[in-house]
């Protein structure tokens, strides 16, 4: 397998999951500053021009929730998802979908408001709304979506990896992670895992 990623992006979640799974894989780093995600070579692989992209023997997979589920299902011995409980697996997918479709989009309004509006005033208004929207999203996670000690309860899963990845964006979005004690505690425990430290070191190089 081959993971296409960019440092600082949500692709870190897929990278960590691969590392946790024990999979044999390689990576390809894209430089967003050079707009490599829009290069003809990369668009031939992923026409969306975004990361992550996971190339497998079966074909290409995009979108973080799909990649995380694929990794968890492909390497069941890593116990990265409740594979024997369809309802709990669906809850994991619902949580990851919320991170992808709501929280990530709220974050993206800070840098990429031009995706949704051409008016500079509207783009600036979206930027100003980011701290509130991110804080509101994490308050909902903290109060209503987080079972503890992990997202799904007693079992560590790819949902924890994904939540950790997005929680690392809060400071740049103007939100103090420590406002959310349960999420902050999870963040610290995930950050201490060797797989996470290895991936973060690779993304800093």
Span 159-170, pLDDT tens digits? 999 999 999 999
What is the predicted pLDDT for the residue at 202? 87
Confidence of residue 131 (pLDDT cuts 50, 70, 90): very high
What is the predicted pLDDT for the residue at 33? 86
What is the predicted pLDDT for the residue at 155? 95
Residue, of 127 and 185, whose pLDDT is higher: 185
Residue, of 4 and 111, whose pLDDT is higher: 4
What is the predicted pLDDT for the residue at 205? 65
For residue range 16-67, what is the model confidence (pLDDT) as tens digits? 999 999 999 999 999 988 888 999 999 999 999 999 999 999 999 999 999 9
Residue, of 142 and 203, whose pLDDT is higher: 142
Whole-number Å distance between alpha carbons of 83 and 88:
8
- For the chain, what is the largest distance between any 2 Cα atoms, rounded to a whole number of angstroms? 51
Whole-number Å distance between alpha carbons of 177 and 116:
27
What structural domains does the chain harbor? 2-78+198-204 (3.40.30.10), 86-193 (1.20.1050.10)
Q: Which two tokens stand for residue 75?
A: 């390497």
Burial of 117 (0-12, 13-18, 19+ CB in 10 A): middle
Predicted TM-score of the model (pTM)? 0.95
Residue, of 122 and 88, whose pLDDT is higher: 88
For residue range 76-119, what is the model confidence (pLDDT) as tens digits? 999 999 999 999 999 999 999 999 999 999 999 888 888 888 89
- Give the three-class secondary structure for 83: coil
DSSP code for 178 = G
Bridge partners, residue 29, by sequence = 5
């Amino acid at each position: 397998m081959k993971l296409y990623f960019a440092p600082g992006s949500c692709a870190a979640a897929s990278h960590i999951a691969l590392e946790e799974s024990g999979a044999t894989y390689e990576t390809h780093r894209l430089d967003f500053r050079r707009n490599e995600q829009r290069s003809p070579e990369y668009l031939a692989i992923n026409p969306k021009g975004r990361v992550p992209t996971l190339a497998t023997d079966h074909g290409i997979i995009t979108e973080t929730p799909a990649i995380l589920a694929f990794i968890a299902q492909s390497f069941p011995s890593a116990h990265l998802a409740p594979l024997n409980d369809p309802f709990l697996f669906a809850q994991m997918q619902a949580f990851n979908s919320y991170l992808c479709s709501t929280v990530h989009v709220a974050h993206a309004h800070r840098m990429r408001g031009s995706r949704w509006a051409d008016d500079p005033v509207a783009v600036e208004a979206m930027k100003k709304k980011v701290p509130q929207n991110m804080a509101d999203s994490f308050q909902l996670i903290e109060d209503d979506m987080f079972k503890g000690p992990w997202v799904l309860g007693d079992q560590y899963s790819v949902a924890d990896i994904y939540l950790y990845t997005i929680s690392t964006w809060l400071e740049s979005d103007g939100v103090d992670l420590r406002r959310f004690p349960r999420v902050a505690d999870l963040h610290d425990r995930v950050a201490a895992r060797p797989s996470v430290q290895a991936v973060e070191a690779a993304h800093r190089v």
